[in-house]
Amino acid sequence: MDRMVEEILKILNINKELPFPDLFIVAITHSSYANENRVESYERLEFLGDALVGLVIAHNAFELFKEINEGELAKIKAIVGSEKVLSEVSKEIGLSKFVLVGKSLSSASEGELDSIYADTFESVMAAVFLNLGFDEAEDMISRFLNEKILEVVEKKLFFDYKTALQEYTQSKFMNLPEYVLIEESGPPHRRNYVFEVRINGEVYGKGYGRSKKEAEQVAAKMAYERLKE
């Protein structure tokens, strides 16, 4: 485990003695692994990290784009703080490969693990905060996410797949897509949703997300790309 902590700190570019290095092991421990091995999961850290990451995104968007109104700022915060973006960042920096999951998730698909990768990013940022304080945690979150904020503002990151799919299915099938909630899980402060999108009764895509809208968008993206092929 000490070796794993060293590797995580290397990814984060932390080169100093820490008061609570074991928090980084907790931060990568999913509840499925924790229950099987009787150790602590990342859920409490993720709760803290969720608030921390959200605050930094909101503050940076507020400072970087002073001409943007409250509604646009809220949209930036929602997109950059979404499961899709945070899981991507977790994978981009190599953090996702350290996540500890139980046997029940050993054969899970990447899409099913994305919510865990996103949670892990937040819990690891909470571990940074508890070890090094707010300023260093803020700097680190900014380093990882400010580019994503810029991409949202420049319209490079977000595409409304639900609208695109609806327009496509109306013209091709003379019908609208149907979104069906098939699974809901997770603690009350952070629910996870799984939606299927169906066209004429046939499943064309499945989406996972931290909100119903996000899961529907992911499902719509899969369906839209499948139809366009």
Helix/strand/coil (H/E/C) assignment for every residue in the chain: CHHHHHHHHHHHCCCCCCCCCCHHHHCCECHHHHHHHCCCCCHHHHHHHHHHHHHHHHHHHHHHCCCCCHHHHHHHHHHHCCHHHHHHHHHHCCCHHHCECCHHHCCCCHHHHHHHHHHHHHHHHHHHHHHHCHHHHHHHHHHHHHHHHHHHHCCCCCCCHHHHHHHHHHHHHCCCCEEEEEEEECCCCCCEEEEEEEECCEEEEEEEECCHHHHHHHHHHHHHHHHHC
pLDDT over 90 (residue 78): no
Question: Which range has the top average pLDDT, 123-137, 159-173, 182-196, 208-222?
Answer: 123-137
Annotated catalytic, 50? yes
pLDDT of 188 reads 81
Could you read off the pLDDT of 135-186 as tens digits, one per residue? 999 999 999 999 999 998 887 666 678 888 998 898 888 889 999 999 998 8
Q: Which pLDDT score, from 0 to 100, does residue 96 have?
A: 93
Does 106 score more than 80 pLDDT? no
- Which listed residue (122, 138, 196, 216) is catalytic? 122
What pLDDT is attached to residue 155?
75
- Report whether pLDDT(57) > 90: yes
- Confidence tier at 71 by pLDDT (50, 70, 90): confident
Higher pLDDT, 172 or 196: 196
Domain segments of the chain: what residues? 2-153, 161-228
Q: Quick one: pLDDT at residue 192?
A: 86
pLDDT score of 84 more than 90: no
Q: What kind of fold does domain 2-153 have according to CATH?
A: Ribonuclease iii, N-terminal Endonuclease Domain; Chain A (1.10.1520)
The mean pLDDT of the chain is 91
pLDDT at 158: 65
Q: Does 20 have pLDDT greater than 90?
A: yes
In the set 43, 46, 50, 119, the catalytic residue is: 50
Please tell me the predicted confidence (pLDDT) of residue 159.
67
Domain 161-228 has CATH 3.30.160.20: yes
Confidence at residue 91, expressed as pLDDT on a 0 to 100 scale: 95
122 carries an active-site annotation: yes
